[in-house]
Structures are given as structure tokens and as C-alpha cells.
Amino acid sequence: MSERKATIQVDSLELSRQHEIMDRIRENNEMEYAKTGKKPAMHVLTFGCQQNNADSERIKGMLNQMGYAEAPSTQAADVIIVNTCCVRENAELKLYGHIGTLKHLKRNNPRLIIGVCGCMMQQEHAVEMIRTKYRYVDIIFGTHNLYKLPELLERSKNEKYTLIDILNTEGMIVEDIPVKREDKYKAWVTIMYGCNNFCSYCIVPFVRGRERSRKPQDILEEIRKLAQEGCKEVTVLGQNVNSYGKDLEDTVDFADLLRMVNDVDGIERIRFMTSHPKDISDKLIETMRDCKKVCEQLHLPFQAGSNTILDKMNRKYTKESYLEKVRKAKEAMPGIALSTDVIVGFPGETEADFEETLDVIRQVEYDQAFMFIYSKRKGTPAAELSEQVDEEVKHKHFDRLVKLQNSVSRKLNEAYMDRIVEILVEGPSKNDPERLTGRTRTGKVVNFDGFDKPQRDTLIGSLVNVRITEVFSWFLNGTVTD
Ligand code: SF4
């Protein structure tokens, strides 16, 4: 039984100090507004995963508390924060391009403050690149000290050089940071941070730190407050939610937490991501089956089908044990929607190895798969591996994988034809504003009509039943039935 090492919480003194600074900056901004009639504005650019989206909602929450309105674009902003991602090499290169485009804004508005944060900034080479090549960036901070933004913002006003504050400790838990949510009816709720799995191709453990769980009472309090504000669906987030609670004093695991969230009045739907297959327990599968609000959807990255490659990836499961977990989930929840992540072209991958990957796709039949071509990630063990796969072979395999997965997704969507499904209405459809859009409990996007125009806005945020009339590979169309 591993020794439970208590997770460090940022002390309340430090947090109240940041809140005092937020109040001070807000007073200054209000005075500015009274003088100029122009409300200072902020703009946050977010790259990467759901965790970064959730972090950006906290960055916006703090800036909002400091009296910054949200600007529709970087052009109209007085503070710009770029929340970076470094999961793949090209993501990092693209980001330098984005930061480069901000230079002229500084020339037009010398009082503009530009900050760069997120996973990329937890890497020394990237911080050095920004510090030396993008000197107009005022603040650099990381994933472990978001809560220090007020202090960094205030100090940067008197600094000539780029202010750099990167925490490389084990990582801490910070509660009571204001949040500005993107959506009223659906919310991201982070339950834990970091990852201890060290898959050989992944940079996350190096930039997000060791696993640390929020206390269940803090998570439940956040979700109860969301429910009171009208939120209907929560997605609980973690790099590996199945490790939840392993670092907490009291013995509570992810399945226990799901049951507690299931009891929160007002919440209608619960989703979660991401699960590591090695930690999916029978207890969790039973809990998903028994908790009515937990949606029949499971994101279970398998990455590769060959045990040789899984071993090189340090994934800690085999093709067989993975398929057994999938079998149990399907048995407990017939019709469950499965999604996954797959990497093609991992060093040493042979034709036979790749066939194993295709075999898993055929056996499991995923509703959705996020498919990637392996790219070396500086700082990860896999980047040192020889036997890099030829680029042409990688692309050929990738095309075959996408073709197979598209046919599977299409086939699974066809099973929805003429079925009546429950939708949480999110808003007007992007493809056709005359229609509304939302998702099924299995995560399918459905665009639908059949409601009276005046009724349209009242439906947003509610659960309605829709009959499916048309199916496509990535979405469905339908008509409201009630
Ligand atoms: S489980 Fe593996 S792939 Fe996922 S974040 Fe952790 S190290 Fe990365």
C-alpha cells in the first residue's frame, strides 16, 4: 500500500494577499473607466486540452474580478494572456507564431500587457526562447501558479524586463480562485492535477507535475454552486481521473466521488475524462451503471494495439487486458459510447504492430477516435528511441486508420436513425442557426428543429427529446418530439 503523501494546499494568507491585489487593481481600473469612459479589457487565447480550457476560465475569472471586461479580440484588449500547450512539437512551433503576431499590438498600445502561461512555459527552453526572442512579452508564468496572476500583473507595470515566475515544485492545490465560465449549462470541474504515469511519449508529467487530488468537499461545494446557478451538466477533469484520491488522507476513490456528485440536486448529467485503462476498476464500471446521471460515454485511450509497442510506450496494460475492460463496460452498459486516442508510427512500429491497432479499432468499434501521427517530444524518453518510423509509412498507416474509423463511426451513427434521444440543448447550431444543437448522453452532436421560433431561446439549457431523421459520420439531425 503506497504511503499517502498529503497534497499541499496554497495557504489562505497567500490567497487573501492575491485577492487584496485584485481589489486594488479593480479600483484603479474603475478610476480609469471613470476618467476615460473606456472599460479596460482582457483577451485570453487558449491552446490545447480541456484542462487548459478550465485553467483559462480561472484566468478570466481573476481578470474579471480585477475589473477587466472580456474583449472580443486581441486588438481590443489591454491585457492578453496566451495559455499554451506543448503536447506535440508542432503545437509549440505554432505558438511562437501566434505570440509573434502580438508584437504590432504593443506598438499601437504601449500600455498593453502580454502574458504567456501554460504547459509550454514549464519548459526551460521555451521560457528562454520567449525571454530572448519575444522581449515585448511582459509576464511568463506556469501551470502551478496561475493564482499569482494578480501579483504578476501589478508588478509588471513597473518592470522593464519580462517578469518570469515558474514554479517547479511538486505542484499544489489552489482553491477559491474566481472562475468565468464559457457556458452556463455545462461546466468543466477539475478534480485532480498532474500525472504519475510517465508514458514514454508524453510531456504532461514533466509540465503538470505529480498527481494531486482536490478534497471531495471542495469539489462538491463547487458543483452544488454550479447547480444553483442553473448548470445541468458537469465534466469532471483530470489527466487520469481513475487515480483520484490516492494522495488524499481519507480513503475516497473516483467511483466514490462519482456517487457523491450523482447526489447533487439540479445536476442532470455527469461526464468525465481522461481515464487510464490500467486503473479502470470493476467498481467504477458498476458505479457508472448504477448512477443515473453518469452518461453512457467512456473515453479510454488505447494508443496502440501491439503489446510490444504498449510496452515501449510504458502504458502498463496489454491489448488483452484492455479489451477485457471494454467487454465489461459494454456488458454493464449496452450501447455505451466509447472514444479513444491512437498514436500511429511510434518508434519501432512494424506492419504487424499496426495491424494490431487496426484490430482493436475493429473489435471495439469506437464512436470517436482522436488519431495522431507520432511526433518526437523533446524531453520524453521515446524521443531518444532509435528505429524512428519512415514518414511515408506513418502517413500511409494514418490514412488507413482514419478510413477504417470513419466507416465505423458512420455505421454506429446509422443505428441512431429514427430513435428518440434525450438532448441537453446548448444553443443555435453552428451549421444552421435556424436549428438548435445539443448532445445525447452518449456525446453525439444533434442539430434539430421542430420547435416554434419564440420558444427557441427558452429551450437552451433544457433536456428535450428528439427523433433522429438524418445521420452523418460526425453528427445527427432530428426533430423535437415533445
Ligand atoms: S496517462 Fe500517459 S499520456 Fe496521459 S497524461 Fe499521463 S503520461 Fe501523458
Find the 200 Cα to ligand 1 centroid distance in Å: 9
pLDDT digits (tens, 9 = 90+) for 266-307: 999 999 999 999 999 999 999 999 999 999 999 999 999 999
Please report the pLDDT score of residue 433 as a whole number.
83
Residue with the smallest CA separation from ligand 1 atom 8 is 202
Omega prior to 274 cis, within 30 of 0: yes
CATH architecture observed for domain 420-480: Beta Barrel (2.40)
Confidence of residue 170 (pLDDT cuts 50, 70, 90): low
Ligand 1 touching residue 423 (CB < 6 A) = no
Is the C-beta atom of 197 inside 6 A of ligand 1?
A: yes
Task: Specify the pLDDT at position 108.
Answer: 86
**What pLDDT is recorded for position 109?**
87
Q: 470 pLDDT exceeds 50?
A: yes
Whether residue 469 is predicted with pLDDT greater than 50 in this model: the reply is yes
The class of domain 296-413 in CATH terms is: alpha beta
All 3 cell numbers of residue 64?
Answer: 474579471
- Return mean pLDDT, the chain: 93
Ligand 1 in contact with 204 (CB < 6 A)?
A: yes
Q: For the purposes of burial, counting CB atoms within 10 Å of the CB of 403, is it exposed (0-12), middle (13-18) or buried (19 or more)?
A: exposed
What percent of the chain shows pLDDT beyond 90?
Answer: 85
CATH superfamily of 12-165: Cobalamin-binding domain (3.40.50.280)
CA distance 202 to 333: 31
* Dist. CA 475 → ligand 1 center (Å): 29
Average pLDDT over residues 171-191: 92
Give the pLDDT score at 8: 59
Q: Which three three-digit cell numbers place residue 334?
A: 449496452
The beta strand positions in 264-409, using DSSP E, are: 269-273, 297-299, 337-344, 368-373
Cβ(239) – ligand 1 distance below 6 Å = yes
Residue 143, pLDDT above cutoff 50? yes
Query: Would you state the cell numbers that stand for residue 459, as one nine-digit string?
Result: 429551450
User: Mean pLDDT over residues 390-417, rounded?
Assistant: 96
* pLDDT at residue 160, rounded to an integer: 83
- Ligand 1 mean position, distance from CA 108 (Å): 42
276 pocket-lining for ligand 1 (C-beta < 6 Å): yes
Tell me, what amino acid is at 475? F
Question: Tell me, what's the pLDDT at 174?
Answer: 86
Domain 183-294 has CATH 3.30.750.210: yes
- 198 close to ligand 1 (CB < 6 Angstrom): yes
Contact residues for 74 (Cβ-Cβ < 8 A; gap 6+):
43, 45, 80, 102, 105
Domain with CATH 2.40.50.140 in the chain: 420-480
How many CA atoms are closer than 13 Å to the CA of 87, on its beta-carbon side?
A: 14
CA distance 14 to 8: 13
Tell me how far the alpha carbon of residue 215 lies from the centroid of ligand 1, in angstroms.
22
**If pLDDT is split at 50, 70 and 90, which confidence band does 352 have?**
very high
Task: Determine the pLDDT at residue 2.
Answer: 42
Q: What is the pTM of this model?
A: 0.93
What is the whole-number distance in angstroms between the Cα of residue 207 and the centre of ligand 1?
11
Query: What are 190's strand-pairing partners?
Result: 237
Residue ranges, comma separated, of all CATH 3.30.750.210 domains in the chain are 183-294
Q: Which atom of ligand 1 is nearest to the CA of 341?
A: 3
* Ligand 1 atom nearest to 198, measured from its CA: 7
The answer to whether 345 touches 393, Cβ cutoff 8 Å, is yes
Which residue, by CA, sits nearest to atom 2 of ligand 1? Answer: 199
